[in-house]
Amino acid sequence: MRAVIQRVTEARVDVGSRTTGAIGPGLLILICAMQGDTETEADRLAGRIAKMRIFRDDQDKMNLSVRDIGGAALVVSQFTLAADTRRGNRPGFSSAAAPADGERLYEHFAEALAAQGVPVARGEFGADMAVHLVNDGPITIWMDTAAP
């Protein structure tokens, strides 16, 4: 699975005129299931993100996790993280999981993160979403469970 994690002071996702998820301080997580991914990768990624120490402590050092600060996560599916840009001018997305698998793993990831003690809000899988965020820092981290 691939994820882009952004530390935010607030974030929300709108589908049309409806807000599907909103959080205050915490993490905006853009997530993509890749071909061959399973619940094991989703669980491992959720555990790592829940424990990632990227929030400031009293000495202004990145030493606290989203759980430590009582923050939340807004999880948004984003298959374009599978983009292959090695050839031509139009990215290919054939390495992304099939839509049914992608949705299943997206939902599993969100549940696994919630099981780690992080309140989770969500976007809407497969929808045309407008994502609003205030990036804090800015802190933006890319993760890939296939990376060594």
From 19, 40, 80, 140, active-site residue: 80
In sequence order, what DSSP letters do the residues of 52-85 get, joined into one string? ---EE-TTS-EEE-TTTTT-EEEEEE-GGGG-B-
Instruction: Let me know: does 134 contact 12? Beta carbons within 8 Å.
Output: no
Query: Is 80 in the active site?
Result: yes
From 55, 78, 109, 116, active-site residue: 78
The one-letter amino acid code at 49 reads I
Query: Is 79 in the active site?
Result: yes
User: How many angstroms separate the CA atoms of 46 and 116, rounded?
Assistant: 8
From 79, 93, 140, 145, active-site residue: 79
Helix, strand, coil share (%) of the chain residues, nearest 5: 25, 40, 35
Residues involved in catalysis: 78-80
